[in-house]
Each structure stands twice: as C-alpha cells, then as structure tokens.
Homo-oligomer: A and B are copies of this chain.
C-alpha cells in the first residue's frame, strides 16, 4: 500500500515536494507516521493511493476557484455527513464561477475591440483606452 515517498506523491499529483509539505502544514493532506521497513532508524513518511487522490482533488478544486481554506473544508465534509454545508459551498462557488465567466467573456469582447481598433488603421497611436471605455464590470 503506502509505498510512495513524498517526491513520488508530488510527481503523481503534478506538484512540487515543497507544495506537498505546504499542504500538510495547512492541514489539506495528512502527515503519516515515519516508517522503516526493517525497523532500523526513524524511517521516512510513505504515501498511498488515497493521498494521490486527495492531492489531485486539491488541484481540481483550485481550478474551480476554491481557496485552500475552502478545499480543506470540502475535504473534511467528504468524510462527514453535512451535505447541506457541502451543497452550500458548491452553490456559492458555482455562482461565483458564473460571474467570473461572464466577466471574462465581457473583458474578451472589450479586448477584441481593442485589437480590432488597433488593426483598423495603421498610422498614429492605437486607441487603447477608448477601446475599453464603458466596458467590463
């Protein structure tokens, strides 16, 4: 089972070793006991499938815009029964995500106009500020 060293866990999760340690300090990942096969010395910590899944989940949740603090809460909810809270967190984030997407689409429209205005003539200054006026949130 728990055969991975921290470097392997990090690689499988697509992050750096320092990041794993950072998540442990933040309570997002468990810090297993040190362990040595032959019982000699203090050994190093070893990680299993479950840790890889948690780590990958953290990355996914981050792309959904959750903060590490919120992800920590989601992870704790995963083991518990408080589906109301889980649903609440998800809904809040979903609304924020909708707004973020709308904002970005709007910004893209404004920016396209900038690029267009810039390309439409080929002399003099590019009217950058004008291209943005009245746009975006």
Contacts and interface: CB of A to CB of B under 8 A. Distances in A.
Interface string A47-67: 000000110110111011100
Q: How many copies of this chain are found per oligomer?
A: 2
Interface in A3-47: none
Contacts of A81: 124-125
A111 B64 contact: yes
Interface string A114-128: 110011001011111
A108 B129 contact: no
A104 B65 contact: yes
Contacts of A125: 77-81, 83
Interface residues of A, number: 54
B128 A64 contact: no
A122 to B, nearest CB: 7
A53 B132 CA distance: 10
Nearest to A119: B87
